[in-house]
Amino acid sequence: MISDLNSTPVAEGSATNVSTDARTLPEDFGPIELVVTSPPYLNGTNYCRNTKLELLLLSLIQNEDGLMDIRSRSVTAGINNVSKRIREPTLIPAVEEVALKLDECAYDVRIPKMVRAYFSDMQIVMGTTRSAMKPGGRMVLDIGDSRFAGVHIDVPTLLSRIAEDGGWEIEDVEVIRNRVSKDGNPLCQKLLRLCSR
């Protein structure tokens, strides 16, 4: 790997951290022309815990206790994100259809709470991003669907509805990979191409 890195040309450029929480941006930030992102998948993965070595090496945390702060500033996507500290989710009718099914059959009471909080957080992220976009600006979002307790959650479709309600136009939805859930049912990964109105 060291040899590969040493022989790979490095692109010139710079990066700036404008926010440590995707739900907030500075008021004077923008206008944005293009956003390319892969937000957390709604799959129960604890992204903070799974990347704690990288977070430590990048000095984003000083010890494992720092994970709690990062988790509180992250989109709720894992069961361990569900706690009394998360904001009360906005109820989204299309999401409620799925969440109510999970209320009845989920093997962990945090699962329907996680689903509601995930889409509520993503609604904020998409709204905050939309308000910083220049007219005609684009967002390309890589996301996949999920399945919990036998209930299919069509994340790309639900996010598309949320996006349209928030002032985005859906330009295209492309399947980029087929996947399989733990119970053997088909899932897929999609690219959502959005344009700000």
Instruction: Determine, yes or no, domain membership for 169.
Output: yes
Strands 186-196 and 133-144: antiparallel
Q: What pLDDT does residue 91 have?
A: 92
Taken in order 100, 102, 103, 104, the sign of the CA dihedral is positive
Residue written as token pair 């992204």: 47
Instruction: Determine, yes or no, domain membership for 130.
Output: yes
Instruction: Determine, yes or no, domain membership for 58.
Output: no
Strands 146-148 and 151-153: antiparallel
Q: What pLDDT does residue 44 have?
A: 67
- Counting every residue written for the chain, the total comes to 197
Domain count, the chain: 1
Instruction: Determine, yes or no, domain membership for 178.
Output: yes
Burial readout 183-196 (b: 16 or more C-beta within 10 A, e: otherwise): eeeebebbbbbbbb
- Which residue segment(s) compose the domain that 140 sits in? 30-42+76-196
Section 18-44 average pLDDT: 87
Predicted TM-score of the model (pTM): 0.86
Residue written as token pair 């307790």: 149
**Alpha helices by DSSP H, 17-90:** 47-50, 52-57, 66-72
Question: Mind listing the pLDDT tens digit for each residue in 113-168?
Answer: 999 999 999 999 999 999 999 999 999 999 999 999 999 999 999 999 999 999 99
Burial readout 26-48 (b: 16 or more C-beta within 10 A, e: otherwise): eeeeeebeebeeebbbbbbebbb
Q: Which residue has the higher pLDDT, 4 or 97?
A: 97
**pLDDT grade for 28, boundaries at 50, 70 and 90:** confident
Question: Mind listing the pLDDT tens digit for each residue in 76-91?
Answer: 887 777 777 777 889 9
Extract the tokens encoding 162: 């949320």
Section 21-44 average pLDDT: 88
Instruction: Determine, yes or no, domain membership for 87.
Output: yes
Under 8 Å between Cβ of 138 and 34? yes
